[in-house]
Amino acid sequence: MPPSSLRVVYAFAREMHPKTSDVFIQYGTAGFRTKANLLEHVVYRMGLLAVIRSRVKNGRTIGMMITASHNLEPDNGVKLVDPDGEMLEQSWEEIATRLANVSDNDLESTTAEVIKEVNADMALKASVFIGMDTRYTSPRLAAAAANGVIALKGTPKEFGIVTTPILHFCVKCRNDNTYGTPTEEGYYEKIVGAFKNIRQKLPVSGDYNTTLYVDGANGVGGKKLNIIKKSLDGELDLKLFNLGGNGGKLNLNCGADFVKVSQKPPVGVEHAPFQRVASLDGDADRIIYYFLDDQNVMYLLDGDRIATLLASYITRQLAASGAHTLRLGLVQTAYANGGSTKYITEELKVPVSCVKTGVKHLHHAALAYDVGVYFEANGHGTVVYSDNAKKTIARIAREGEPEQRAAADLLLNFIDMTNETVGDAISDLFLVETVLCARGIAAPHWLASYQDLPCRQLKVTVQDRNAISTTDAERQCTSPEGLQSRINELVTTYKDGRAFVRPSGTEDVVRVYAEADTQLNADKLAAEVAQAVFELAGGVGARPELPA
């Protein structure tokens, strides 16, 4: 691209999307995420970067999603999606951060440096898909993204309001037409169509009932399920709550993150004893199940529970189909409950990998298996299948013995029901409901498969979250000096004690996680570790308090 073109890019940015703040913004676990009023220049520049990335990938389509996921409504964010529907390649995160934070005066030269650094052929066509969530600030930011794409002569396609996983799906389909049709309707056709196909082969039995309550977090997921429910033909009766009406605020006292962290039911949802409820997050890439008993005590069925449920079902189907050569593995993070890890390794006999927090890390580790199941405890996860696994299962469905063919055929539908590109609350909901139906069980039976250790998560506000460094999949803290030894001392004072700290990838806080033999002890351990973080890592604001 000639220098004169870049001068136009710079002039347009200064005029239409100027950098008005000196706040440093970093591309984190899920892209850029902060207060929406700080993001317009960032999103414009990510439009530029998406075009450059598309050209580096020989004109393949790149995605841009405008969302702050489970954050509250004043926040927003942007993340880039690579051609296979995966997160942006990690080596480009530093480039994104650099481009987002340079001054307007340096934008022209920095853009030119990036183009040269990555050896982008700016004569190639470039394609960028843009989606957004339901935040009131999203349309303005989506427009800035499109302007950035156009400024470098790329072609934007705006999908309007979609879930984050739908955008990932469409990017994958655009670059791989064997995966599906790159439209919202194509997503429904594949995911929902596979669910309906498989449910027609699985009669409802045992304690399973077809009614499911759903907390939509006042976000996009509930709106899309409201469309989907009309086509389910009675296979699943969705009772939807928190769809954004009646003054409900996005993710406020509702949604998967609220339910998981607070361990409380969301507001705005009706409850019946032992009725299972699925709680989505704001952009529908996370899902948490729970139920209340007849004493209104809540029982959580989180990402660990979903992972073990799916892994156990797929393991049985692989055995029934005779696909003994395929290797299934499960990927977790340090947030996975110790009870789930013990159950997976000792009862299911499934290998487990532990990786850093962030779905990109889990996704890549899962690709090492023929069938990789990965979930964060927060409910973000999916299943990925190798080409070898898909070909093997398809061959058995054609050529195996009758019982093997039946099992393989169910697996093929299960694969089609899965959004392999990223964690997807809607796809995962249908996967969970399929397994519960196949096993004929209700939520209490699902819960009884293993015993969770009581746990607690806390946040500590510090001057600089990057003062915390970790290793061993974030289970050990390497700085500041003395913090890990203090955590080790605290852990030894509690039966079944385990704790770790890590800098958040999405907020300016340090996250604390603790487990112990009782809820009181888990709460105390978490509070004591939080105090240690406050003292040794530069805490600001109110000091963490021990529970009474």
Q: Is residue 377 annotated as involved in ligand binding?
A: yes
Reading the chain (548 residues) residue by residue, the pLDDT tens digits are: 555 567 777 777 778 999 999 999 999 878 999 999 999 999 999 999 999 999 999 999 999 999 999 999 999 999 999 999 999 999 999 999 999 999 999 999 999 999 999 999 999 999 999 999 999 999 999 999 999 999 999 999 999 999 999 999 999 999 999 999 999 999 999 999 999 999 999 989 999 999 999 999 999 999 999 999 999 988 999 999 999 987 899 999 999 999 998 989 999 999 999 999 999 999 999 999 999 999 999 999 999 999 999 999 999 999 999 998 999 999 999 989 989 999 999 999 999 999 988 888 999 999 999 999 999 989 999 999 999 999 999 999 999 999 999 999 999 999 999 999 999 999 999 999 999 999 999 999 999 999 999 999 899 998 888 889 999 989 999 999 999 999 999 999 999 999 999 998 767 789 999 999 999 999 999 999 999 999 998 888 777 776 65
400 closest CA partner among 504, 303, 324: 324
| pLDDT score recorded for residue 542 | 74
**Residues 424, 50: Cα–Cα separation, whole Å:** 23
| pTM of the predicted model as reported, rounded to 2 decimal places | 0.91
Which residues form the catalytic set? Answer: 69
281 annotated as ligand-binding: yes
Distances from the Cα of 225 to the Cαs of 95, 147, 291, 427, in angstroms? 37, 31, 20, 11
503 is in an annotated binding site: yes
> By three-state DSSP, how is residue 512 classified?
strand
| Burial annotation 342-369 (CB, 10 A radius, 16+ → b, else e) | ebbeeebebebbbbbbbbbbbbbbbeeb
353 annotated binding-site participant: no
Q: 505 a known binding residue?
A: yes
- Distance in angstroms (rounded) separating the CA atoms of residues 371 and 312: 12
Q: By C-alpha distance, which of 181, 169, 174 is closest to 156?
A: 174
Q: Does the annotation flag 143 for ligand binding?
A: no
Question: Is 530 annotated for ligand binding?
Answer: no
| Predicted local distance difference test score (pLDDT) of residue 413 | 97
Which has the closest alpha carbon to 208: 442, 429, 444?
A: 442
Q: Is 511 annotated as a binding residue?
A: yes
Q: Domains of the chain by range and CATH?
A: 3-161 (3.40.120.10), 192-298 (3.40.120.10), 303-447 (3.40.120.10), 455-536 (3.30.310.50)
Distance CA 148, CA 162 (A): 20
Instruction: Select from 355, 420, 367, 382 the least CA-distant residue to 286.
Output: 382
Asked if 255 and 264 touch (Cβ cutoff 8 Å), the reply is: no
Distances in Å between the alpha carbon of 149 and those of 50, 155, 490? 7, 7, 51
The pLDDT value given to residue 30: 83
- Which residues are CB-neighbours of 292 under 8 A, at least 6 positions away? 265, 271, 273, 274, 275, 298, 299
Please give the C-alpha separations between residue 498 and each of 181, 302, 323, 362, in angstroms, as whole numbers: 46, 19, 38, 21
3-state secondary structure of 69: coil
User: In terms of residues, how long is the chain?
Assistant: 548
